[in-house]
């Protein structure tokens, strides 16, 4: 990330939201809303004195509420740009109007409580959408305590505990009493391959991260017992199967095919009721910590982004690529590409590959002087066009523009934007818009061809 | 030959045409009464095409596109669904039996569904007399 930030051709606009996208491939006009961070990015040196001196604490989102952060903070250590942000909801200056410690201690005078929202409008040639994913909310699983049992945590939670600079300084502890767990149960497919919970698909990454977690648990606490409940182990990439085998054979992680049916709190421990479907017998034992391998779900903002960019989404909310095999990073909107988990659950290597593919596609697009386009596009016969612009209303791509034609306005097709669906042609009351290759006359001629063929057969 | 009818099917390029193609590749059998006209999207089908087909003397018209929500062009089949449902209810007023017309959704992987749709629709049209013109149903 640091490397990207130092590349002269890359500009990172963090804390900025997409507001509007107009235009088409090679010619997008994008409006961005840069939210105020109340710290002048140009003046700030990133020394962090403001964070040190800040008096107000807030729950740390990055550590999933496990720890606390200050009201002026950086999201995480490697966050870029290296400029903190003041959290208006917690900052004493904004909530009580009394504190301005950070302003006083800042050696470069970068704190600016009056910073306003900034709207940036710029032109871009292509857009890559990589807005990521969200983690399934396991409170939908009542049998696992619906998020109320403290010692039932998610994989991401566990991951934060493993971080040496994280809230527990790299120690694995039970959130309820901060003691080391002796038996840890990992439950796979929580919010994954469960149509009843609205997630019929396989999240793909949980098998591997659970294996990693179980190995790390054994490395941190060698005498601990790791038990993994799985439905199927899906380890289809290079070296993955071997990794699972290592967890099982080298580290002695106990893999049980089956599912945990219920978790009860009992005498400060957790009573696990499960079933071993290979042995066909129910299991009941005590554990200290349960880690749920929560699945990947589509980003919440997905529909907003899809609407702004004219992208389509699959039934699970992930962005649809143009073609699952032949055009995996292109979208149905030319000049807009997708990469990473917003297109579907995937692991880091695949996300990197897809991101590289999207970047390469953009470079290929920009390397040409002129764009090639499909000849199957709509065209308008100016003289028949009434200027009612019903075509513009139905066009899914915004490919219809107004054109002045003497004193009146007529429709005009932007050929690079048109995808050739023909919705406009079927909508036009006068037949002034015709889709090349599929004009009304051509389709009718095809129809008449069949009819005369049938007549010949009959005769 | 007596039983054969003249049926025109407008299939969208991305789903139903692919589905019919897949049915062919898989050698699934269905009656030979149907002639296919490929269109880019079911939304390209002007309801007038259907009426014109009847005026040319076909016995049945079938329109098939991607499943709603799965349109290659995002929303073309939503327009198709509105237009064609309207047309279907309007057909009796033009003296065309509404059974002669149907719109449906077949995806490119649903070869068997295409076989079923084609067979059922052909049977339905075969149960009617050949189309003798408007006012004769």
Which ipTM value was assigned to this complex?
A: 0.94
Least confident of A53-62, A86-95, A130-139, A305-314: A305-314
Which tokens is B68 given? 């709603």
Report pLDDT for B34: 94
B18 touches chain A (CB under 8 A): no
Which tokens is A201 given? 């698909």
Say if the Cβ atoms of A438 and B44 lie within 8 Å: yes
Helices (H), A48-140: 49-53, 92-95, 101-105
Average pLDDT over residues B24-42: 94
pTM for the full predicted model: 0.76
Say if the Cβ atoms of B56 and A447 lie within 8 Å: yes
Report pLDDT for B2: 60
Say if the Cβ atoms of A447 and B49 lie within 8 Å: yes
Report pLDDT for A3: 87
Classify the C-alpha dihedral B119-B98-B101-B51 as positive or negative. positive
Place of tokens 């130092």: A6
A76 touches chain B (CB under 8 A): no
Inter-chain contacts counted by CB atoms under 8 A, chains A and B: 74
Average pLDDT over residues B47-58: 94
Contacts of B24 (CB under 8 A, 6+ apart): none
- Look at residues A178, A129, A163, A455 and name the one whose alpha carbon lies nearest to residue A313: A129
Report pLDDT for B137: 66
Q: Pairing between strand A127-129 and A336-338?
A: parallel
Which domains are delineated in chain B? 8-126 (3.40.50)
Contacts of A333 (CB under 8 A, 6+ apart): A309, A310, A311, A397
Say if the Cβ atoms of B57 and A394 lie within 8 Å: no
In the predicted structure, residue A310 carries a pLDDT above the cut 90: no
Report pLDDT for A456: 86
Mean pLDDT of chain B: 92
Which tokens is A176 given? 């309820």
Average pLDDT over residues A252-263: 93
Report pLDDT for A148: 85
Phi, psi at A92, each rounded to 5°: -60, -30
| pLDDT tens string A72-88 | 999 888 888 889 999 99
In the predicted structure, residue A442 carries a pLDDT above the cut 90: yes
CA-based end-to-end distance of chain B = 22
In the predicted structure, residue A336 carries a pLDDT above the cut 80: yes
In the predicted structure, residue A277 carries a pLDDT above the cut 90: yes
- Between CA A174 and CA A185 the distance in angstroms is 12
In the predicted structure, residue A58 carries a pLDDT above the cut 80: yes
In the predicted structure, residue A92 carries a pLDDT above the cut 60: yes
Report pLDDT for A311: 84
- ω before A444 within 30° of 0 (cis)? no
A240: left (phi over 0), alpha (psi -120 to 50) or beta: alpha
B68 touches chain A (CB under 8 A): no
Judging contacts by C-beta atoms under 8 Å, the chain B residues touching residue A422 are 39-41, 43-44, 76
Name the band, by pLDDT with cuts 50, 70 and 90, for residue A322.
confident
The H or E element that residue B25 is part of is helix B16-25
Name the band, by pLDDT with cuts 50, 70 and 90, for residue B1.
very low
Average pLDDT over residues A410-420: 90
Q: Pairing between strand A269-276 and A254-266?
A: antiparallel
Domain ranges of chain A: 134-297, 378-443
A332 touches chain B (CB under 8 A): yes
- Between CA A455 and CA B6 the distance in angstroms is 10
Domain A134-297 has CATH 3.20.20.70: no
Q: Are B111 and B72 in contact (CB under 8 A)?
A: no
Radius of gyration over alpha carbons of chain B, in Å? 14
- Look at residues A372, A388, A371, A369 and name the one whose alpha carbon lies nearest to residue A380: A388
| pLDDT tens string B100-137 | 999 999 998 899 999 999 999 999 999 998 998 887 76
In the predicted structure, residue A208 carries a pLDDT above the cut 90: yes
A168 touches chain B (CB under 8 A): no
Name the band, by pLDDT with cuts 50, 70 and 90, for residue A145.
confident
Report pLDDT for A374: 83
Place of tokens 């003041």: A86
B residues 73-92 closer than 8 Å to A (CB): 73-76, 79, 83
Indicate the residue of A312, A421, A447 with minimum beta-carbon distance to B44: A421
Average pLDDT over residues A128-155: 90
Q: What's the helix, strand, coil split of chain B in %, to 5? A: 45, 15, 40
Average pLDDT over residues A351-378: 92
Domain A378-443 has CATH 3.40.50.150: no
């Amino acid at each position: 990330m640091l490397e990207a930030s130092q590349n002269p051709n890359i500009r990172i606009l963090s804390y900025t939201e997409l507001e509007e996208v107009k235009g088409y491939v090679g010619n997008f006009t994008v409006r961005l809303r840069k939210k105020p961070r109340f710290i002048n990015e140009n003046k700030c040196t990133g020394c962090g004195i403001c964070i040190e001196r800040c008096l107000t604490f807030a729950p740390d989102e990055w550590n999933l509420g496990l720890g606390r952060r200050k009201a002026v903070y950086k999201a995480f250590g490697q966050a870029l740009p290296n400029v903190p942000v003041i959290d208006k909801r917690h900052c004493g200056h904004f909530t009580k109007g009394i504190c301005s410690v950070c302003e006083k201690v800042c050696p470069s005078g970068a704190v600016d409580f009056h910073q306003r929202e900034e709207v940036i409008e710029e032109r871009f040639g292509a857009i890559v959408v990589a807005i990521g994913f969200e983690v399934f909310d396991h409170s939908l699983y009542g049998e696992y305590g619906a998020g109320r049992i403290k010692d039932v945590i998610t994989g991401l939670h566990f991951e934060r505990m493993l971080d040496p600079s994280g809230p527990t300084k790299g120690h694995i502890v039970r959130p309820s009493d901060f003691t080391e767990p002796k038996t840890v149960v990992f439950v796979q497919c929580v919010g994954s391959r469960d149509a009843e919970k609205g997630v019929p698909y396989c999240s793909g990454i949980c098998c591997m991260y659970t294996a990693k977690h179980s190995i790390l648990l054994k490395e941190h606490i060698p005498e601990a017992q790791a038990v993994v409940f799985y439905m199927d182990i899906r380890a289809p990439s290079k070296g993955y199967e071997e990794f699972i085998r290592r967890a099982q054979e080298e580290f002695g992680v106990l893999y049980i095919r089956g599912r945990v049916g219920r978790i009860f709190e009992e005498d400060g421990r957790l009573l696990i009721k499960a079933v071993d479907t290979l042995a066909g017998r129910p299991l009941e034992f005590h554990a200290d910590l349960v880690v749920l391998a929560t699945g990947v779900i589509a980003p919440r903002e997905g529909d907003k982004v899809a609407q702004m960019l004219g992208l389509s989404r699959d039934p699970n909310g992930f962005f649809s690529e143009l073609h699952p095999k032949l055009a995996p990073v292109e979208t149905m909107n030319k000049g807009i590409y997708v990469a990473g988990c917003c297109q579907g659950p995937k692991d880091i290597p695949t996300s990197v590959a897809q991101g590289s593919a999207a970047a390469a596609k953009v470079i290929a697009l920009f390397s040409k002087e002129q764009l090639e386009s499909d000849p199957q596009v709509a065209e308008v016969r100016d003289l028949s066009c009434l200027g009612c612009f019903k075509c513009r209303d139905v066009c899914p791509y915004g490919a219809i523009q107004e054109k002045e034609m003497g004193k009146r306005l007529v429709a005009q097709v932007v050929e690079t934007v048109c995808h050739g669906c023909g919705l406009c042609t079927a909508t036009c009351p006068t037949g002034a818009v015709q889709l090349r290759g599929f004009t009304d006359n051509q389709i009718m001629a095809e129809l008449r061809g069949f009819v005369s063929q049938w007549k010949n057969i009959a005769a | 030959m007596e039983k054969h009818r003249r049926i025109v099917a407008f299939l969208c390029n991305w789903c139903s045409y692919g589905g019919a193609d897949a049915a062919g590749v898989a050698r699934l059998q269905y009656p030979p009464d149907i002639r296919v006209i490929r269109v880019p999207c079911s939304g390209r089908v002007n309801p007038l095409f259907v009426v014109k087909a009847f005026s040319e003397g076909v016995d049945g018209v079938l329109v098939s596109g991607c499943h709603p929500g799965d349109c290659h062009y995002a929303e073309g089949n939503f327009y198709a669904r509105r237009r064609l449902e309207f047309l279907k209810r309007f057909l009796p007023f033009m003296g065309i039996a509404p059974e002669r017309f149907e719109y449906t959704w077949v995806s490119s992987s649903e070869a068997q569904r295409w076989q079923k749709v084609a067979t059922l629709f052909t049977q339905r049209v075969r149960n009617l007399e050949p189309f003798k013109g408007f006012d004769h149903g």
